[in-house]
Amino acid sequence: MKLMILSLCFLVACPKASPPETPDEQEAPAVAEVPEEAGVDSNLIIGQQFWSWYAEENFQAIFDNSSPDVQQALTVETWQGLSQQIAGAFGAEVEVIGEEVTPHQDLFIYARTSKFETNHLLSTFVFSSDGLLQGAQFVPAPVIAESRFLDY
């Protein structure tokens, strides 16, 4: 049996690019709206927004909300190709098993484990405090085998 591992990983922690010189060049990218409800982790919502854009194939929004280094490495066409590979290998998402955000230095790591039609997938989006994507990774998620010996 051939095991296919799809991985797109590009992590950088670089300073944000300076804004364009003239106001005409500035265009506001789509951003996640964070409700100001008690107990809502705004970083979780940002991570969920990246996943939502990916699932809806809104790769332009991902690109627009990426750091300049990520934009150079991961074009809209790259995202489209990755999405097609994952859909071909895993099928459609059928269930979210879990999701979490973990802070790491000045970055946040959003990890989502999902059950797809043929396998489990671990999707990771890494973003900075200003909400810019710094990296992404998609790999088959490990699945713990059932065992009668795990309760000892």
- For 73-108, the pLDDT digits (tens) are 999 999 999 999 999 999 999 999 999 999 999 999
φ, ψ (nearest 5 deg) of residue 112? -130, 120
As a whole number, mean pLDDT of residues 29-39 equals 50
DSSP strands (E only) in 3-152: 93-104, 107-116, 120-128, 133-140
* Whole-number percent of the chain with pLDDT over 90: 65
Higher pLDDT, 3 or 83: 83
Q: What is the Cα–Cα distance from 50 to 106, expressed in whole angstroms?
A: 18
* pLDDT, position 40: 62
Q: What is the Cα–Cα distance from 88 to 82, expressed in whole angstroms?
A: 10
* pLDDT, position 16: 38
140 contacts 10 by C-beta, under 8 angstroms: no
Mean pLDDT of the chain: 80
Could you tell me how many residues make up the chain? 152
pLDDT over 70 (residue 65)? yes
Query: CB within 8 A of 51, min separation 6: which ones?
Result: 110, 112, 123, 125
